[in-house]
């Protein structure tokens, strides 16, 4: 045997070994699903932001003897890429996965990744807000997610700062200050004159309020074509928000400036979907307890956010996972979660529940948040969010708006930037 052939043989063997191992790594998806009815030792739940499930999963563990691992991710922006990785590699996804409204449609586009929940649990379609239930279904009628919470809208405001500015502090009187966005702007200007400080955290926060009051199409039309530059809902939100740059603290939501702003009182109001209450509370800290209060939003109800619980196709225990999702979204659980961290129920029975309606939030000056948010739910007009809504909003719409807010671009240039970027984010 000559030296060269021996060498090439060795190389071939090594290559074969590499490809064998590489092949193994590639087909990592294991199909050893357990027999139907077999009880899992553990189920994993993935949520972002705050779902208020800490107590509920403990209850479920006691009831069923199944261990529940609750994995929390702070921000949707971090949560989504992780979820994408799990789906793309076929590994790692939780048995019960929370899906936010903004990203739901994107996942609906590939329904094969998700279990159809309808055959696994009894029919609950009549028990939830009808439009919320419908949004959890794919176009071909598969039940992808069970409704958890709905955004709804309110204004969180600092009583102590209002008082210092000579504004009323009682929540009904405060709500009466701003029947519409224009009045809100004027109140903000009064506040600024009196104190020299900013009134609202950022114009993108204002924009969220206005955007989600507009029922119907935003960045996409019903056929899911991108209409970012011509949508009246978007234009209205853009114009309203950009006009308020004079009263803005320019603190980008989720930024360090924003987090610190709650403690330091750099702004006196922010927009609070129900789920935001827990975040305002955590950011403001115990020392600001009783300084915040909740009032109605200018221009009536709206819906910012809200989620569903889905079961990924890769879950080994789809039936048990569906049951857990069913438990976490039932009427009692939704009331419990609301009391703990504020996500607003979507279950009709929960919305009528006495414990929910009479709930007052101690941190927010005992505001009757159950009543405030419960009433606003009825006024919600469902918004149509397209497949890349979240990407268009986060990577095109809001950066452009902030570029204007920060003085980097004129209003016209910022709008051009938005239209250009919306087109690439929305590309299929």
Query: Binding residues for other proteins, per CB under 8 A?
Result: 10, 14, 17-19, 21-22, 25-26, 75, 77-78, 80-81, 84-85, 87-88, 106-107, 109-110, 113, 250-252, 254-257, 260-261, 264, 266, 388, 391, 394-395, 399-400, 402-403, 406-409, 417, 425, 427-428
Q: Kindly state the smallest distance separating residue 7's Cβ from other proteins, in Å.
A: 11
Reference 242, options 389, 390, 397, 385; nearest CA is 397
Q: Kindly state the smallest distance separating residue 312's Cβ from other proteins, in Å.
A: 11
CB nearer to other proteins: give 113 or 330. 113
Query: How many angstroms separate the CA atoms of 263 and 250, rounded?
Result: 16
CB nearer to other proteins: give 274 or 417. 417
Q: Kindly state the smallest distance separating residue 241's Cβ from other proteins, in Å.
A: 15
CB nearer to other proteins: give 195 or 266. 266
CB nearer to other proteins: give 36 or 88. 88
- By CB neighbour count within 10 A (0-12 exposed, 13-18 middle, 19+ buried), where does 15 fall? exposed
Q: How many CB atoms lie within 10 A of CB 365?
A: 16
Helices (H), 27-129: 54-64, 76-89, 101-108
Q: Kindly state the smallest distance separating residue 265's Cβ from other proteins, in Å.
A: 11
Which tokens belong to 270? 């922010």
Reference 105, options 157, 145, 60; nearest CA is 145
Q: How many CB atoms lie within 10 A of CB 423?
A: 14
Q: If residue 424 lies in a helix (H) or strand (E), which one and from where to where?
A: helix 411-425
CB nearer to other proteins: give 177 or 409. 409
CB nearer to other proteins: give 110 or 230. 110
Q: Kindly state the smallest distance separating residue 395's Cβ from other proteins, in Å.
A: 5
Q: Kindly state the smallest distance separating residue 180's Cβ from other proteins, in Å.
A: 29
B/e letters for 74-104, b = 16+ CB within 10 Å, e = fewer, are eebeebbebbeebbeebeebbbbbbbbbbbb
């Amino acid at each position: 045997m000559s030296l060269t052939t021996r060498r090439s043989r060795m190389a071939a063997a090594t290559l074969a070994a590499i490809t064998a191992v590489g092949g193994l790594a590639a087909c990592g998806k294991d199909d050893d699903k357990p027999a139907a009815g077999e009880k899992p030792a553990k189920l994993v739940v993935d949520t972002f932001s705050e779902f208020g499930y800490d107590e509920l999963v403990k209850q479920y563990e006691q009831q069923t003897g199944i261990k529940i691992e609750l994995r929390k991710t702070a921000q949707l922006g971090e949560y989504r890429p992780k979820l994408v990785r799990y789906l793309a590699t076929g590994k790692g996804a939780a048995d019960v996965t929370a899906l936010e409204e903004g990203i739901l449609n994107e996942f609906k586009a590939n329904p094969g990744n998700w279990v159809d929940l309808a055959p696994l649990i009894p029919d609950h379609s009549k028990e939830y807000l009808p439009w919320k239930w419908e949004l959890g279904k794919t176009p071909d009628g598969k039940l992808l997610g069970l409704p958890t919470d709905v955004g709804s809208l309110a204004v969180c405001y600092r009583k102590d700062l209002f008082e210092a500015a000579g504004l009323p502090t009682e929540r009904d009187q405060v709500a009466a200050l701003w029947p519409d966005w224009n009045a809100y702007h004027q109140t903000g200007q009064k506040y600024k004159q009196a104190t020299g400080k900013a009134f609202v955290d950022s114009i993108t926060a204002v924009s969220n309020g206005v955007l989600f009051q507009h029922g119907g199409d935003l960045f996409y039309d019903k056929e899911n074509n991108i209409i970012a530059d011509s949508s009246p809902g978007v234009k209205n939100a853009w114009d309203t928000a950009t006009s308020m740059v004079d009263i803005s603290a320019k603190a980008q939501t989720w930024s360090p400036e924003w987090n610190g702003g709650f403690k330091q009182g750099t702004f006196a109001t922010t927009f609070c979907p129900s789920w935001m209450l827990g975040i305002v509370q955590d950011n403001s800290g115990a020392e600001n307890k009783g300084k915040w209060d909740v009032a109605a939003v200018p221009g009536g109800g709206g819906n910012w956010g809200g989620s569903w619980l889905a079961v990924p196709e890769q879950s080994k225990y789809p039936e048990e996972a569906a049951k857990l999702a069913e438990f976490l979204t039932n009427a009692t659980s939704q009331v419990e979660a609301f009391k703990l961290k504020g996500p607003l129920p979507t279950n009709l029975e929960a919305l009528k529940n006495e414990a929910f309606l009479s709930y007052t939030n101690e941190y927010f000056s005992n505001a009757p948040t159950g009543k405030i948010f419960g009433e606003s739910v009825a006024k919600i007009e469902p918004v149509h969010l397209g497949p890349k809504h979240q990407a268009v909003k986060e990577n095109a719409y809001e950066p452009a708006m902030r570029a204007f807010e920060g003085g980097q671009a004129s209003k016209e240039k910022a709008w051009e930037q938005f239209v250009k970027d919306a087109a690439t984010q929305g590309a299929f």
